[in-house]
Structure 1
Amino acid sequence: MQNYKYEEVHQQVKQWLEDVVIGLNLCPFAAKPNRNEQIQIFISEASNEEVILEEIYQQLQKLDSTPVEELETTLVVTPNLFSDFADYNQYLDLIDALVFQMGYQGIYQIASFHPDYCFHGTEPDDAENLTNRSPYPIFHLIREGSMEKVLKHYPDPEGIPERNIECVESLTEEDVARLFPFLK
């Protein structure tokens, strides 16, 4: 893996998942599949966009052919690609087109995470961007059926983004340094 050690990347992503995503409860649905070891962290060695698209295709097929009890969701980590957030963000359109082309629209959705994530209409240093910042560019492949099932039993799912923003805005500088050591 070009400039990256597989185990180091895997450990950093797992740490981020446990400390930030689950630890801050940014995704209230992640703890159970993490506990049950149903989250796959797939680390791509791809150094070009065609290869990663093929790998995402393969990971979607794997999700499709694996029972949800064994594999709930997949994080596709791309340490060798998309250092520029604008390039990463544009690439999401290709992945959405792939999902559509495969007939997976309404079955799978993609959540996006990047070290320099910046929501439209925000400034790069705005705290709310921390909700989608990760150690490496990540494409999160989510089963929509699982989300729908969980959301039925979750109070006020529409309030999750606002609660997440409040959570990260309340972090101290020390908290941010500890939880997001990969930030520049």
Structure 2
Amino acid sequence: MTSHHDVQPDPETATRRWLYNFVIAHDICPFARREFDADRVRYCRVSGHDTEALLQRLIEECRHLDADAHTATTLLIVTPGLEVFEDYLDALALAERLMQLEGYEGVYQLASFHPDYRFGDAPADDPANLTNCSPFPVLHLLREAQVEAALQRFANPERIPERNISLLRDRGHEWWRNIMQTCCDIPPDRA
């Protein structure tokens, strides 16, 4: 018999819940609610075992955004594969380079999220790292023009990361783990 904890969460469902229950609910990104509520977020699952196929899918998603003005942003959920953070960073660097080569630099921005995210200058146990932790590795494509427009409408956007770091350091790992538990353990019929 399989216990509830042996069952892997559906990557798209867990990512959608993470976006709503963490990013939006705690105002980690003050611009996310609008797109989420308008159903303008696209979720795509892709394997990280084949780097070439992953990069091809990334460019396909850029082309999708080119052709579909309704979609504001795409979350490429990478699973299985790239569970090791350093492998993820290698793939991220290749993705950023490919976007440059394909002429997407300045058109789309690539944000990064990973279950073991760690800022380069932060200790591994610093709760500040949790601002970019997600249930699965994610490559997040954002429209550069929309990001710039949103930042212009927001007073002191440079304070967003400072506020997030302060929030996570104040609340700590246990608080964050409880949120992630709700993202990954709720049965699908209660989503």
TM-score when normalising by structure 1: 0.90
Aligned to 1:26: 28
Aligned to 2:17: 15
What residue identity is the alignment partner of 1:158? E
Per residue, is there more helix in 1 or in 2?
Answer: 2
Measured in 2, the distance between the counterparts of 1:120 and 1:46 equals 22
Measured in 1, the distance between the counterparts of 2:76 and 2:172 equals 30
Measured in 2, the distance between the counterparts of 1:159 and 1:173 equals 22
Measured in 2, the distance between the counterparts of 1:123 and 1:138 equals 22
Aligned to 2:133: 133
Gaps of 5+ in 1: none
Measured in 2, the distance between the counterparts of 1:119 and 1:90 equals 15
Q: 2:60 aligns with which of 58, 61, 65?
A: 58
TM-score when normalising by structure 2: 0.87
Q: 2:40 aligns with which of 19, 38, 43?
A: 38
Identical amino acids, percent of aligned pairs: 33
Calculate the aligned-residue CA RMSD, in Å. Answer: 1.8
Q: Per chain length, whose mean CA-contact separation is higher, i.e. which structure has more relative contact order (CA < 8 Å, sep 6+)?
A: 2
Contact 2:75 2:138 in 1 (8 A): yes
Gaps of 5+ in 2: 1-6, 185-191
What residue identity is the alignment partner of 1:122? A
Secondary structure at the aligned position of 2:154 is classed as: coil
What residue identity is the alignment partner of 1:29? F
Which residues of 2 match residues 62-141 of structure 1 at below 5 A? Answer: 62-67=64-69, 70-141=70-141
What residue identity is the alignment partner of 2:169? E
Give the total of aligned pairs.
Answer: 177
Measured in 2, the distance between the counterparts of 1:64 and 1:94 equals 21
Secondary structure at the aligned position of 2:158 is classed as: helix
